[in-house]
């Protein structure tokens, strides 16, 4: 699918598409590295034009260990033509439970291209709580943010917010992407995995950019890595 079709869809749905141009192969490589594609069950959120999907498709041993979500009809049509052997559903990431092969299917890796901080705060929270709970102990949640927006308070608050539940393990800059992006990886601790508490999810204060202000400390045992 061409970048221009992606751009057209951005113009029609800027908050949902969240980016003017598809991800580069450099970003896709950074998003898909260090994953055990021979065994892991991988869920991709917001497949878009399929930049990440292509790298997953090339590496995943068992195609049944993949589930992708793309809400946009035009983009979904392109994805199904290109990746006939992967299960990519035209639905919202919020509908995860409807599509898992087994109700208790462990998810080892979540690769998200969703523009979390431009979606409505309620939708972001709904998706995050669902996927933090569904992630297997030891599993990875990986997403990206554009470098120029990364320091913005709303994005930093978002990262802190997720860090309450998952351990922030790395932040890698991909300069060759347009625009440059940071790949942010979180991991669910193997023990004492805590369920997302909806009590912490409250309407955003006026200045929060959508996410509730957080205490400066993480939850006990959550050794937070310095942000690069
Ligand atoms: C930044 S773009 C994807 C970039 C993708 N990596 C690429 O290279 O094309 C984000 C995608 O998330 C999709 N999206 C937004 N909200 C969604 C939702 N609730 N469920 C599933 N997909 C969603 C958008 O339609 C868009 O294709």
Instruction: For 13-24, write each residue's pLDDT tens digit.
Output: 777 666 767 889
Contact call for residues 218 and 189 (beta carbons, < 8 A): no
Q: What secondary structure does DSSP assign to 141-152, as a single string?
A: EEEEEETTTTTS
Which residues of the chain form beta strands (DSSP E)? 42-45, 66-69, 88-89, 107-112, 135-146, 167-174, 181-187
Q: Is 177 in the pocket of ligand 1 (CB under 6 A)?
A: no
Q: How far is the CA of 99 from the centre of ligand 1 (A)?
A: 18
Q: How far is the CA of 148 from the centre of ligand 1 (A)?
A: 19
Q: Burial letters for 145-167: b for 16+ Cβ neighbours within 10 Å, e otherwise? A: bbeeebeeebbbbbbbbbbbbbb
The CA distance from 108 to 169, in Å, is 15
Instruction: For 142-188, write each residue's pLDDT tens digit.
Output: 999 999 999 999 999 999 999 999 999 999 999 999 999 999 999 99
Going by pLDDT thresholds of 50, 70 and 90, the confidence category of residue 194 is: low
pLDDT, greater one: 193 or 68: 68
Instruction: For 103-146, write each residue's pLDDT tens digit.
Output: 889 999 999 999 988 899 999 999 999 999 999 999 999 999 99
The CA distance from 222 to 166, in Å, is 8
Give the atom of ligand 1 at the shortest distance from the alpha carbon of 93. 20
Q: Which residue blocks in 83-216 are alpha helix, DSSP H?
A: 96-99, 121-134, 153-163
Q: Is 115 in the pocket of ligand 1 (CB under 6 A)?
A: yes
Pocket test for ligand 1, best of 29, 71, 73 (most atoms within 8 A of CB): 71
The structural domains of the chain, ordered by start, are 3-200 (3.40.50.150)
């Amino acid at each position: 699918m061409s970048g221009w079709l992606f751009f057209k869809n951005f113009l029609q749905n800027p908050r949902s598409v969240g980016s003017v141009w598809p991800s580069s192969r450099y970003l896709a490589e950074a998003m898909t590295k260090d994953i055990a594609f021979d065994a892991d069950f991988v869920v991709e959120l917001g497949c878009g034009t399929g930049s990440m999907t292509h790298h997953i498709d090339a590496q995943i041993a068992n195609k049944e260990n993949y589930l992708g979500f793309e809400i946009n009809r035009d983009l979904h049509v392109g994805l199904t033509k290109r990746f006939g052997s992967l299960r990519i559903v035209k639905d919202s990431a919020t509908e995860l439970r409807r599509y898992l092969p087994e109700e208790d299917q462990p998810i080892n890796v979540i690769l998200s291209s969703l523009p979390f901080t431009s979606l409505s705060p309620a939708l972001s929270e709904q998706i995050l709580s669902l996927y933090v709970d569904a992630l297997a102990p030891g599993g990875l949640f990986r997403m990206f943010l554009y470098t120029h927006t990364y320091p913005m308070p709303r994005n930093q608050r978002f990262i802190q917010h997720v860090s309450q539940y998952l351990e922030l393990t790395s932040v890698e800059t991909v300069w060759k992407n347009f625009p440059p992006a940071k790949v942010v990886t979180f991991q669910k601790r193997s023990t004492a995995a805590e369920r997302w508490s909806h009590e912490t999810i409250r309407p955003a204060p006026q200045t929060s950019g959508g996410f509730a202000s957080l205490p400066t400390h993480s939850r006990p045992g959550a050794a937070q890595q310095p942000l690069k």
